[in-house]
Amino acid sequence: MMKRGLSTSHLILIALLAVAVDQITKLIAQYTECNINLIAGFGLKYVINRGWAFGLFANTGLASHFGILVHTIAIVIVSLHYLNYRCRKDDLYILGVAFFIGGAVGAIIDRVFLGYGRDFLVIPSYATINFSDIFSTIGVVLILFTLIRSGWSGKARGGDG
């Protein structure tokens, strides 16, 4: 009988698709230098982000190194956690891990190869973000949701706890 649901292969494919969407949209924004106002302050505007989240460390020269370190550690932790719970049958959890890893890798690519982030989605009174931010956030929300739903217990592994 064939197993249904998401597998590690699906996780890798989804993460790679997230990286591709992130990098392609950043290239489009970068080369078109978009500056479009949409509805209620939302818009598209290409911004070079030399800081980290919310511009932290922007003037210290630490942003790029700090960002790479944080994302690398996060990817390792999430990946190890996934491997620990790999027998888990929760597709939302696997999807969350895939989105988180895809978003983190997208951000790392910018920091390693460019030394800065590329943002272009304007959220009024908040920030300018990109798809790596969106994918990472969705991933964390899905992971937390599934862990909270399972009660943070042995049920997460499908075992006795």
Q: Which residues are catalytic?
A: 119, 133
Query: Which H or E run contains 8?
Result: helix 8-32
Q: Kindly tell me the sign of the dihedral angle through the C-alpha atoms of 94, 96, 97, 102.
A: positive
CB neighbour class for 150 (10 Å; exposed up to 12, middle 13-18, buried from 19): middle
Pairing of strands 127-129, 117-123: antiparallel
Query: Which H or E run contains 118?
Result: strand 117-123
Quote the distance between the C-alpha of residue 1 and its chain's center. Answer: 34
